[in-house]
Chains A and B, each alone.
Chain A
Amino acid sequence: MSNQASEPVSLIPPWRIGVDVGGTFTDMVLSDASGAMHVFKVPSVPADPGEGVVAALGQAADRFALPLPDLLRDCALFVHGSTVATNTMLERRGATVGLLTTEGFRDSLEIRRGIREDQWDHRAPFPEVLVPRYLRLPVGGRIDRDGTEYEAFDAGGVAEAMKTFEAEGVESVAICLINSFLNPAHESAAKSAVEANWDGEWISASNDIAPVMGEYERGSTTVVNAYLAPKVVAYLQALDRQLRQLGLTRSILLVQSNGGAVSVDQVAARPVNLVLSGPAAGVGALNLVRRAAGTEDLISMEIGGTSCDVALMSGGKVGVTDQLIIDGYHLATPAVEIHTVGAGGGTIARVDDAGMLHVGPQGAGARPGPAAYGFGGQDATVTDAQLLLGRLRSGPYAGGAVTLDGGAAREAITRTVAEPLSIAAEAAAAGIVQLLEQNLLHAVERISLQRGYNPRGFTLVAAGGAGPMHGASVGRALGCPRVYVPRQAGAFCAVGMLHSDVRQDYGQVFLGDLDRADRDDLKQGYDRLEGHARASLDAEGFGADDSRIEREIDLRYRSQQYSIRVPLTNGFDPAGIRKAFEAEHDRQFGHIQPDGAIEITSLHVVGRGLFAEVTAGRRERADGAPTPVETRTVYQNAADGWADTPVYAGADLEPGHQLDGPLLVEEQTTTVFVGVGDRLEVDAADNFLIHLSNGSAT
């Protein structure tokens, strides 16, 4: 069911293509010059993700009755979000890495600063260290605490180490020396020595990859980069070559963890920046929603099969931090702030040995998946509960990729939840959904309240295949007036790719007092970072009129351990900077230290290459009311019980339509549930807006 009609659709060139390779499906979105959007979904091919990309393109070419070379030739922008880096980490299929460290500190990587993610779960081992101790080899030489050389560098030590690496089959070399963030001379010397003694291609030096203070985080980031590079870069270069040969005229772009895009050539040096590639593309989608919904304050809840990614946009901006954890490995790379919880359609409900119901965080995944899939899943999941409650129906979904079996769902819920709790299957199903929605509510509160934002002032964006089923209910519990549902909710990240600008972040440690810092040193620092940013934008083909360079500065009160990032708007003006810092400190922590000493900890530069904004797809305003395709008996909530509920086909809903709940909309990639008393509006951008009644609680 990839498209509603069967006759070919004509496209207006040029168009943009976004492809999001997920663990189960590869989503492709094409948006042409008129803003019309088309979605394609094909199964991913984990062994060769590129195969799934080409399959999706083939399906699109068929759909538009275009030869593939023509489809690619008129594609002005091809943006790729890929889990290839993430999966290489999760599956531990990276390269054999050798690490050069300063003598005395070869174990920082394995000590991990002693950080336990869940201290109560003390039986859980740390994730396997990516470089075993016998491949972490010390080299002599020391940069002192003030950046001067305390002990000369020993290039001979590198030659020795390389013999060991050679013998051990090392494919990629990482270098992280103490205090290289103050003076990279020894790392540069080490890099030269490696090159002189080794034929290998992949060398990652910490001051290139993540020039931050802190040997653990900098080293960990560098090692992950070295671990990913051979595999990930090879994949991306091969895909780029293949698509260019097939007709694409410019290099594909990749979405990075910072939410911005970059070309294969540039990301090849820092593939570690791709680990959050998929979810980070959601930021682009928020940019689209921001324009369509006319608000700068959004909280998105993207719910898939196993998890929910929550992100917050305030004043049109999504926060970017330098701290990211991927499967237990710490990275100091710029990444959009996303909070992920184990809550999705495949989330498992279970009753513990003392009679308490739990929903999540474990999920049934794609295989075996929910019991209703019929792939052998024995556990009751959220999807099973929605099916039993009538919000989903038995039969094929996602173009026949899955077929839901209501009997299997009821059996699993009865056996694993209803009987142990001595309640009816319907009550159990309603309870499972209620608990899931409570988890979602808490996740949204965490990303907002914990950081000093009141979620009531935000518009909730319900996305992902499963999000629009829960958006209205969670929005009501939060006290939000309305919920926005993108029509292509199930391909949210692929849509986002079409609206991602190019972005590169550059930073350096700078230690000094805000009021006494040497202006020349500051200028030199920023000039150097801007030089990098400008060169990068030039290489991507951006000039002065379609690019922007922003300066930022990290600050803290003396004796604090964490910094706050503040934009520099009017040159370097300490009084103005203090004010901006105080405002942000007050918002986050509720107080300031009047006249407190403020320290600078680092300088940042963001280079942005801006693509023309795509006009959102506009359709003619509808006249008349749509007709439901069926009416189903659906469970609403505790107060309203079961009610006859009209079900609409998404294609029948057009801009201007306004419908009162309860109702369901079955769209290509999602199902929207609108509750009793809520009102659904199709907005001018052809998306759904749910106006919430402020009545019954969840």
Chain B
Amino acid sequence: MTGDSLDPIVLALVQNRLDNISLQMGWVMTRTARSPIFNQSHDFSCFIADPDGTLVSQADGIPIHTGGGGFAVRALLKAFAGKIDDGDVFLLNDPYVAGGNHLPDWVIARPVFAGGRLTAFTCNRAHQSDIGGGAAGTYNPAATEIFHEGIRLPPLKLIEAGETRDDLWQLLLINCRTPELLDGDLRAMIGSTRIGAERVAALVDELGIEATQRYFEGILSHADRRFRADLGGLPDGRYEAEEITDNDCFDKVEIAVRVALTVDGDRLTVDFTGSDPQMRGFKNSSLANTYSAVYMGLASFFEPDLPRNEGTFRNVEIIAPEGSVVNPRPPAPLTMCTVFIAHEIVHCIWKALAKADPTRSCAGWGKSVHGVTAGNGIGGGEPYVMYHWNSMPGGGAVEGRDGFNQIGHLIALGGLTLPNVETYEQLYPVRFVKQEFRCDSAGAGAYRGGTGIDYEVEVLEEAEYSFRGEGVGLPSGWGAAGGGTGAPGDMTLYPNGGEKFEAPPYGVRRFGPLRMTARSPGGGGWGDPKRRDPDRVLRDVRDGVVSRDKAAEVYGMTVSADGRTTVS
């Protein structure tokens, strides 16, 4: 169906209204949830799906949640075909049977009925504070099976015809290390979908049931037309790319994600055939996460206001071979996948698209080297867990903008607020020494990559160190359109009076008081460095992020000793 029979004014009003309902569901969530992760970090997304489980509107949420919610709704539609009633509320999380992306993200889905007919779903996907499993806090780097990662939930009726299933509720709580938080957060999720459902029901009431479905379809087909118009600007062809991670969370082993994009007019095929088999550690990507990562890679390549409902990707066919790292067979573990290997999948999409349209291409972002320190406060104080976010890496360049010198994870497109060191010194037994830009670490280019960071901190008490060092080893900030590659990262620990220790990408070690240094990776550059605006090169030299030697060698500019002028 096309949008021909629709009133274009009503169509625009309905689209804005649905987006606003999704937003309002988020407000209810941030207002009522218990865990700081929701009201302070926004690690959740609210969305509305049509009766077939196609995602029509989505708000909040980090980019790696893009468009993935439809899998969850379709899984419950399949599991409960013919048994979905007014007043039911569903819960699920499992990536293998329930369309989940990874176990910590639980989905609450509420059907919206009008005149006895199913007209929509209002849903909330949110990262829980704890779900049992082998490690507190949902990430278990030692996992080799999904059973080590927490409780698995197939599609469940958590509320049946308005009645909460208390036995099930208790089952959930006793499988969690922080039952009070889970109890409050689940109620917040349920409450947000209820507010959303009331507002969607009011919309259906105004428009009528049939018309609502036609306008939903109108919204999806508008998004489809937008994206096809974008794709139509790319030359037909097959574009291949590969991205490697150099470990399986246990050993040094190269694992590749391989993709071939085929552009045929306004259709696109994304084929992961040839990607390596699933790995031992927890970076395997669930199918829903693979789709979201592809959607995120595509959407971020085009305009920022591209709709991010499932209509946008209607003409995109994704092939993800079973048993590979992008579609593992159970019981492969996969909790880490929303960060790594999502980062590699997004890079693959960007690399392939760069071949189709170098002008729009995006250079690679550095992978993080942040570790996690867990211990007790000064003099045996309260236990704490501290993420070394202040060592996050540099981002990649695009035409018109240098890479961010320090930025959050790629899969959030930087949507992470780094802490102030002053705040952390109050919370944890640490003294920060340095958080400054690196020199000569950025991928060179007409627009250079981000520098990455020189990081140094003293940890004043004995503690346990869990390493999250994808950025150690291979460089990750590859260059685009002729740009150079950013420097790789490393992390070194200097225990007081002990031997220095080079941190591995993964693993857990215990140390007494120590000093820790890290150099986080630089981002990739965009375009030929020789075409960089000479004023920008001079500024970089004056700023001390590019040396005079490097300016001469890479940018072809001989800079005077005071950094003010070029010497020809």
Contacts and interface: CB of A to CB of B under 8 A. Distances in A.
A394 interface: no
A24 interface: no
Contact of B420 (A123, A215, A353): A215
A181 to B, nearest CB: 7
Interface in A98-116: 104-108, 110-111, 113-116
A111 B420 CA distance: 11
Contact of B12 (A124, A435, A588): A435
A68 to B, nearest CB: 49
Interface stretch (A227-235, A354-362, A534-542, A576-584): A354-362
Interface string A137-171: 00000001100001000000000000000000000
A202 interface: no
Given A120-B63, A435-B16, A589-B32, A126 B545 contact: no
Given A106-B436, A107-B436, A355 B8 contact: yes
A29 B128 CA distance: 55
Nearest to B223: A354
A107 B437 contact: yes
A697 B207 CA distance: 13
Contacts of A697: 206
A120 B304 contact: yes
B436 A560 contact: no
B144 interface: no
A476 B399 CA distance: 47
B171 interface: no
Given A107-B435, A357-B8, A445 B24 contact: yes
Given A358-B12, A421-B8, A452-B31, A105 B401 contact: no
A445 B20 contact: yes
B149 to A, nearest CB: 24
B17 A438 contact: yes
A519 interface: no
B180 to A, nearest CB: 9
Nearest to A357: B12
B300 interface: yes
A178 interface: yes
A152 B434 CA distance: 17
B36 A123 contact: no
A355 B225 CA distance: 9
Contact of B405 (A110, A181, A591): A110
Interface stretch (A268-276, A338-346, A423-431, A522-530): A423-431
Given A122-B300, A123-B304, A133-B543, A179 B222 contact: no
Contacts of A624: none
Interface string B187-227: 01001000000000000001000000000000000110110
A421 to B, nearest CB: 4
A434 interface: yes
Nearest to B26: A450
B13 A435 contact: yes
Contacts of B31: 450, 452, 588-590
A168 to B, nearest CB: 10
Nearest to A561: B40
B491 to A, nearest CB: 17
A213 interface: yes
Contacts of B437: 107, 110, 133
B418 A113 contact: yes
A532 interface: no
A132 interface: yes
B418 A111 contact: yes
A104 B435 CA distance: 6
Interface string B513-548: 000000000000000000000000001001111000
Looking at chain A's contact residues, the main secondary structure is: loop
A145 B223 CA distance: 52
A111 B24 CA distance: 31
B435 A108 contact: yes
B253 interface: no
A352 B15 CA distance: 14
Contacts of A421: 8-9
Interface stretch (B97-105, B112-120, B424-432): B424-432
A132 B8 contact: no
Interface stretch (B315-323, B408-416, B475-483): B408-416
A452 B32 CA distance: 10
B39 interface: yes
Nearest to B3: A355
A537 B401 CA distance: 48
Nearest to B460: A145
Contacts of B392: 114
B257 to A, nearest CB: 21
B400 interface: yes
A134 B226 contact: no
Contact of B422 (A126, A150, A213): A213
Contacts of A591: 32, 34, 184
24 contacts: A104-B433, A104-B435, A105-B434, A106-B436, A107-B406, A114-B392, A114-B404, A116-B414, A116-B415, A119-B415, A122-B300, A122-B362, A122-B413, A132-B543, A150-B431, A213-B422, A213-B426, A214-B423, A354-B222, A423-B9, A430-B9, A439-B16, A511-B426, A590-B32
Interface of A: 104-108, 110-111, 113-116, 118-126, 132-134, 144-145, 150, 178-179, 181, 213-217, 352-358, 421, 423, 427-428, 430-431, 434-435, 438-439, 442, 445-446, 449-450, 452, 511, 559-562, 588-591, 697
